[in-house]
Amino acid sequence: MLYNYLKVGMRNILKYKVFSFINVFGLAVAMSVCLLIILMLDDQKKYDQFHANKDRIYRIVSDREGSKVPSATTPFPLAATLESEYPIVEDSTQLIRGVGGDATYHGKTIQMGGYFADAAFWEVFDFPLEKGSKHGCSQYYGYYQ
């Protein structure tokens, strides 16, 4: 019985080549798109999942008029205002675009970029440090890309 189904299927594929090509191509494209969407959603679910308090960390974005995409740029005093006026906000931190440019050492030039973060950054996030200590530093820490 299965042999007959395969035989009839092959006959139809060979007899109606264009129709079969359109169907197989459409199925392949649909499966590819579905797999890409699944991979994208899986990546979004994994993003920043290594933090200890990941369920209590939120990012504030601004939706400006005329802008196509909301950005994570907010006014500087927003963090302090949220902490003082909303008791549900335990801690807040902010990143400020800082150093950037080229650095040359022993004839090699590399591009550098970095951000400045306030002291609460290490209380909110669990990024590992390669060198140094999270405690005992000044108000702003350098966090490099």
Q: How high is the pLDDT of residue 21? A: 95
pLDDT at 139: 47
Give pLDDT, residue 137: 55
pTM: 0.55
Tell me, what's the pLDDT at 37? 97
Q: Residue 91: name the closest of 53, 120, 59 by CA.
A: 120
Mean pLDDT by 10 residues, the chain (145 residues): 93 94 96 97 82 83 83 84 90 82 88 82 81 61 43
What residue spans define the domains of the chain? 2-46, 76-144
